[in-house]
Structure 1
Amino acid sequence: MPETTTARWLVMIERAYRGAVERQFADVLSLITELHRQSGGTDLALRGLAASYALTTDYEPALRIGGRTLDTLPDPRATVRDILAAGVTVLVEEPDLTTLGRTAADRLLPGVRVVEGGGLAARWSSYEQVWFL
């Protein structure tokens, strides 16, 4: 029987979406873990402002409406931690970190990998599919 290899997919997210109350159960980041489970191998590249999802922060997503605090807003950093825990490789290009400030590289979530500028495009041919979400 011939040996089969698992084709990896690369999913790229470039636009940061700060979330909304309506999000509740589905957003583009929530899709990544399921794609990984079904495909057997998905890598996630966070580019542009979406690279900020890979940084630690003290910010807690909450919204004050009148006298009520809504604290069930999406937290992209928590979702990226879940994605990493599921075995997805998370990549960020170095120039995108630089744009986020000089301390950004020091605040990367554990497990996030930094690639050189243009390094993602150079790897595209090694993937079965490249998706931009």
Structure 2
Amino acid sequence: MLTVSEATARWLVMIERAYRGAVERQFADVLPLVVELHRQSGGTDLALRGLAASYALDTDYEPALRIGRRTLDTLTDPRATLRETLAAGVAVLVEEPDLTALGRTAADRLLPGVRVIEGGGLAARWPSYEQVWFL
């Protein structure tokens, strides 16, 4: 069970809708924002729900778009960004029902460091956070 340190008030950031990427991401990708919130707040946990839980799955897919004879391979890669998020010390959580909805092998493909919690477990933990944000 996750506990909140009394010395550091933690924030919970929840992402429920998967951003499918674009040719130029600019400021649309919220994962780097989560890392910055973690750095500035002293502690942020990230919960991936719904289709955003797919960010937590390891895959061989490389984001690229073929336009005519050109291949554009500079698209947003949420899995790479999530690895950076984990490396920055952000706790990444996925509720078990959202993981199950992604297929029976999804749990076997979780990125290292992602924690699975019971269904409804996030709502039960909300009172322990200073702030809960939905991005």
Identify the residue that residue 49 of structure 1 maps to in structure 2.
Answer: 51
1:26 to partner: Cα distance: 5.1
Please identify, of 92-101 and 25-34, the stretch whose mean Cα deviation from structure 2 is larger.
25-34
User: What is the aligned counterpart of 2:96 among 85, 94, 97?
Assistant: 94
TM-score (ref. length: structure 1): 0.95
In the alignment, what sits opposite 2:114? 112
Matched-pair contact (CA < 8 Å) for 1:9–1:128: yes
2:19–2:29 CA contact under 8 A, matched in 1: no
Equivalent of 1:58, from 51, 57, 60?
A: 60
- The answer (yes or no) to whether the contact 1:24–1:73 under 8 Å persists in 2 is no
Answer yes or no: is the 8 Å Cα contact 2:92–2:115 preserved in 1. yes
Tell me what 1:23 maps to: 25
> How big is the shift at 1:6?
1.4
The percent identity for this pair of structures is 88
CA distance in 2, matches of 1:97, 1:13: 14
Secondary structure at 1:91's aligned position in 2? Answer: strand
Aligned structure 1 segments of 4 or more residues deviating by more than 6 angstroms: none
Answer yes or no: is the 8 Å Cα contact 1:24–1:74 preserved in 2: no
- Give the TM-score normalised by structure 2: 0.93
For the aligned residue pairs, the C-alpha RMSD in angstroms reads: 1.1
* Structure 1, unpaired ranges of 5+: none
- Number of corresponding residues: 130
CA distance in 2, matches of 1:20, 1:26: 9
Q: Which residue of 1 aligns with 2:3?
A: none
Q: In 1, Cα distance between the equivalents of 2:89 and 2:100?
A: 26
**SS at the partner of 1:111?**
coil
